[in-house]
A and B are shown apart, each in its own frame.
Chain A
Amino acid sequence: MRLYAVVAAGGFRRYATYRVATAAGVFTNTVFGFIMAYVYTALWDERPQLGGYDLSQALTYVWLGQALLMTVAMMGGGFEDELIERIRTGDIAIDLYRPADLQLFWLAGDLGRAAFHLLGRGIVPMALGALAFDLALPANPLVWLAFLASAALGVVVSFAVRFLVALSAFWLLDGAGVAQMTWLAGLFFSGMVLPLTLFPGALGELARALPWSALLQVPADVFLGKHTGWGLVRAYAFQIGWAAALLTAGRLLQSVATRRVVVQGG
């Protein structure tokens, strides 16, 4: 357990090193936040209460998306490129000899990364958004806590998906294609491009049932107070269910994959 805490702290520190990159990222998140906020304003001007949100809730949704984009790695990034590279070059053999579990080792590092990105790239854009627009920020501190828990579960689901993507490199060697397909699905079905409550009919039901809705849609709805009481429990159960299913799949795939490893000499 201590080992994984150290790995998580390492993941945090590693991203904290890039201060200029973090500042540049905050700038980008803010620019996109402003553009989307104006688009959503025009959209909600036409149709107030669209998707069950009023205008200030919709604007809050926009800025939550910018704040969580890097935290839950909706566009990928973080560990999977590195793990794919280690699989391709064969360095993975060294990892497998380490006295640490492969999946837990990378999960700990990714949690550290996510924690940094929430603080480094989440808070400032959200604060700037709140200054420029009328946002629906929860008054109850418990809602903020419930949101943080939901965001953390979102990170675990995101990790579980990306771990599966990385393991595909055992078969494909070059995982770039699969990684890209996955972040595309992640971006669209997490609700980043448009809240999933605006997706029509069966597409909407499918989108809300897929694991990616655990990344943004669910935490955002918790933040906006859409899930309370048993609804909150159900929202958590949804996230935990996907996390458990995907982590188990990752574990099974990992044991199949490691049997395939052929360590080349030299």
Chain B
Amino acid sequence: MDQPERVDRPLDRRGDRLWAGVRAYGLIASMWIRSTMTYRASFAMTTFGNFAATALDFVAIMLMFSHIDALGGYTLPEVALLYGTAGAAFGLADLVMGSMDRLGRRVRDGTLDTLLVRPVPVLAQVAADRFALRRLGRVTQGLLVLAYALTALDIAWTPLKVLMLPMMLLSGAAIFSAVFVAGAGFQFWAQDASEVQNSFTYGGTTLLQYPPSLFAKDLVRGVTFVLPLAFVNWLPALYVLDRPYPLDLPGRLAFMPPVVAAVCWVLAGAAWRAGLRSYRSTGS
């Protein structure tokens, strides 16, 4: 009996495309790493700069706590837990997907066309474009603040609470990555509006670094139900800290981040495909 033709089975093809995308991402990313290493002094400085840029944020929070004991009812180690989880999750997303915000420029100057004619998924090419290993600096800083929080906090650890930590980082990174992809889909139309995306990524991280008790209820509602950033760290972290939830939300929402991340990815994928389909070259 002859084997049926594999290419006729859409599921396999989708799997192959995913593999091709991951492979292409790896190749392009390693090329950029080699290219960055040409200027080693500059690489060292920018990696440290990435570390320091975010570290200064936390220095500012420490300076605030030199004047106060609690901010919105939260102590410094508690804020550090929020800060570390938000920072590390966003840092991971920024490392893997941070280049997506260059898409608008590529649409404007027409260099996206080059990516379209290559036999490699466009998303992988755009995401790996100018892959910047220096962004590890931000991840490192977030993890260090998280480590400080875990040593300074007095938490009654349970297996569930321990599992919450890696889940927050991975699901959080996935949610932020989805925002990057959806933002890129938006830029097919908006072209030079990458700053709108920054409001949701950098702005979102800044928001999540502080306790939800600081912000107006409508803002908290927005980042829970509309753009579900609250699932990156607020809800799971408040479970770890045994703190009441904002808006009287039910406690089991703390376990939802992986589901929320998956839904975000489906929606972001749809936004990306819609954007890509509507793309018209500048012709220049």
Contacts and interface: CB of A to CB of B under 8 A. Distances in A.
Interface of A: 18, 20-21, 23-25, 27-28, 31-32, 34-35, 38-39, 41-43, 46-47, 50, 172-174, 176-178, 180-181, 184, 187-188, 193-194, 198-200
Chain A contact surface mostly? helix
A179 to B, nearest CB: 9
Given A193-B57, A200-B63, A172 B41 contact: yes
B192 interface: yes
Contacts of B278: none
B128 to A, nearest CB: 19
What bracket does the count of chain B residues touching chain A fall in?
35 or more
B67 A23 contact: no
Q: Which 9 A-B pairs have the closest CB atoms?
A: A177-B45, A180-B49, A24-B195, A24-B193, A193-B60, A31-B199, A177-B42, A21-B192, A46-B68
B194 interface: yes
B199 A27 contact: yes
Given A28-B198, A43-B68, A180 B45 contact: yes
B72 interface: yes
Contact of A176 (B42, B190, B193): B42
Given A20-B190, A21-B193, A181-B45, A28 B60 contact: no
A181 B47 CA distance: 10
A50 B68 CA distance: 10
Contacts of B192: 18, 20-21, 24
B42 A38 contact: no
B284 interface: no
24 contacts: A24-B192, A25-B195, A28-B195, A35-B210, A38-B216, A38-B219, A42-B72, A43-B64, A43-B67, A43-B68, A174-B39, A176-B45, A176-B46, A177-B42, A177-B45, A180-B49, A180-B53, A184-B49, A184-B56, A188-B56, A193-B59, A194-B64, A198-B64, A198-B67
B169 interface: no
B235 interface: no
A233 B215 CA distance: 40
Contacts of B30: none
B71 A46 contact: yes
Contacts of B194: 21, 24
A224 B150 CA distance: 41
Contacts of B53: 180, 184, 187
Contacts of A187: 53, 56
Given A20-B190, A46-B68, A187-B56, A39 B210 contact: yes
Contacts of B203: 28, 31-32, 35
A146 B46 CA distance: 38
Nearest to B72: A42
B111 interface: no
Contacts of B199: 27-28, 31-32
B52 interface: yes
A224 to B, nearest CB: 19
Contacts of A28: 195-196, 198-199, 203
A178 B39 CA distance: 13
B97 to A, nearest CB: 19
B281 interface: no
A2 to B, nearest CB: 32
Contacts of A23: 193
Nearest to A187: B56
A200 B65 CA distance: 11
Contacts of B60: 188, 193-194
